[in-house]
Structure 1
């Protein structure tokens, strides 16, 4: 449903025991039976999942014959950091497809990881399509086209067979009709669904039978979490901390995560703040039944005053597994 989302407070910025700021957003928690266990805000309004949709896009490509496995399949669903292993992996995908970096259709950019990006700048290396964080997905799209004999030149057109296949998989896994189509930051079509639909899609991916395209994507991302994100990234750390968890973030404060039994959470922070995304997603996972002790490292970075911790971003009481609203 296309409308202005009715977001609600999902996190407070606490300084010295007083609420200094409020992050609005929406959160959904699904149980293993697919029923909604918790909802905050507007989980039915159409929104842009951004890169949190990449696991679904990867499933669509595997369904269409993409033969990648392991770390390269994880890279196909990645928002990678631009580390050398990511660039090498993208080159391997391109080589297997019989194409080159010049065939990529994503926008040139510097690496996403700030440390890697600073090295590039010091070395005078220009932005490139290979370094842009979606290059694994775009390389896999080219490979999928080559496997099927589809044209490469217009592979990002929503009417292209590849993108029609992606849209069909989005609708199949979410159980919803795509509400709208726009262009993501990388240049690929972005299919809009609801937050509930996104959670449902990733739950179906993690709970799928072994050997299916869904399970192949989930297994690859969980086994190669750093290829799906990068060294030091919170998404990789979260997947390592919670056995069996599949997690994916997206720009503008989006995160989805699901367990093998189908429990799933999805988060949208209205102002796009990462500082709220991480603790809110962790609190939602605790509400889904994940041991809060395993999530302690994701409670949010401390807020500093004079170089000393004086507060932090804290999920609202309805989310916080410890019920510490405004504490």
Structure 2
């Protein structure tokens, strides 16, 4: 059903339309010179003044941002009274963390600062997200826990906020709880649109449906926020501690380290947002939820923001392996074919008019359908 947020006089803008999104081809999986797979999706690039610089697919249909919404939720919690013990704790509030010890320790610090424990969390118990960390966890005989679940930083910040405001803790995940009303108001404010639907995210928290355009606009506003404001604080914490926002080996942390000033956040089902301090931003949704297509498409979209191709080249392709060696690649294509070709030239050390590599050597190949 449509979601009406406000018990008071707050009037949200019109929500995005709920429809089957009209996604378009955004990435090709090329093996041995043949397009083996096509990933559809939608992408939007915003200029510094907030206007749409480029769009492909359906950027106005309602969709679920999943964890890409966490920077917005972090701003909402600060507005509602969150007092994180330090900026690392604020970064973890916006995190989908890997379950490394630093992540668990920071979540504990949030809880301890509020006089709470892991038992006060209501997120779903889980194993660490990072495969290597998860394997070590299991070898140590440890099972699923609420603290190890990748959203524990957000949940720790939620109960800390509820405790500070004197709100009930047991039902803090109820969409009608004052905490979640506060989050919903911030979602509407920063996206500039009403919420189309409310459901439950994987961790158990309410999940608000907006459009890809609205989500990207919200992240752009956070990235361009004044340093003394709530938005600016969240942006600075995430930029300063990208490994806390994701993990040591994660591509989102590497992207933020590679591009000065970039704010980036991923989400399940192929969602990615990234924004620069001047408000330039991109939003990506891969239709089939394939994580492998998320970063190559994002890198190509960021090229439209005027970034140096050399900074983006490490994120522009995913190798396709056959017989233990590279026989192709996954790269942006379709509406982003020009950007993909420019990044490929940097990756392969060739100019735009250079001859293709020898395919008998099994090296990276140009996309024949780009």
TM bin, normalised by shorter chain, reads over 0.9
Q: Work out whether residues 183 and 190 of structure 1, in 8 Å CA contact, stay in contact via their aligned partners in 2.
A: yes
Q: Work out whether residues 318 and 331 of structure 2, in 8 Å CA contact, stay in contact via their aligned partners in 1.
A: no
Partner of 1:284: 301
Name the SS for the 1:293 alignment partner.
helix
Aligned-residue Cα RMSD (Å) equals 1.0
Partner of 2:208: 191
Partner of 1:157: 174
**Which aligned runs of 4 or more in structure 1 are off by greater than 4 angstroms?**
none
Partner of 2:83: 67
Q: Work out whether residues 44 and 56 of structure 2, in 8 Å CA contact, stay in contact via their aligned partners in 1.
A: yes
Number of residue-to-residue matches in the alignment: 327
- Aligned partner (choices 31, 37, 45) of residue 21 of structure 1: 37
Partner of 1:240: 257
Normalising by structure 1, we get a TM-score of 0.98
Q: Work out whether residues 300 and 340 of structure 2, in 8 Å CA contact, stay in contact via their aligned partners in 1.
A: no
Displacement of 1:64: 1.1
Matches for 1:141-220 after TM superposition, within 5 Å: 141-220=158-237
Partner of 1:222: 239
Q: Deviations over 1:152-202 (max 9, x none)?
A: 111001111100000000000000000010000000000000000000000
Q: Work out whether residues 333 and 340 of structure 2, in 8 Å CA contact, stay in contact via their aligned partners in 1.
A: no
Partner of 1:43: 59
Partner of 2:121: 104
Name the SS for the 1:53 alignment partner.
helix
Distance between the aligned counterparts of 1:184 and 1:322, measured in 2?
Answer: 33
**Structure 2 stretches lacking a partner, 5+ long:** 1-16, 342-365
Displacement of 1:300: 2.3
Distance between the aligned counterparts of 1:78 and 1:210, measured in 2?
Answer: 20
Displacement of 1:322: 4.7
Q: Work out whether residues 45 and 304 of structure 2, in 8 Å CA contact, stay in contact via their aligned partners in 1.
A: yes
Distance between the aligned counterparts of 2:104 and 2:176, measured in 1?
Answer: 29
Name the SS for the 1:249 alignment partner.
strand
Distance between the aligned counterparts of 2:221 and 2:206, measured in 1?
Answer: 22
Q: Work out whether residues 13 and 21 of structure 1, in 8 Å CA contact, stay in contact via their aligned partners in 2.
A: yes
Distance between the aligned counterparts of 1:174 and 1:84, measured in 2?
Answer: 34
Partner of 2:326: 309
Q: Which has the larger radius of gyration?
A: 2
**Structure 1 stretches lacking a partner, 5+ long:** none
Name the SS for the 2:55 alignment partner.
strand
Q: Work out whether residues 287 and 319 of structure 1, in 8 Å CA contact, stay in contact via their aligned partners in 2.
A: no
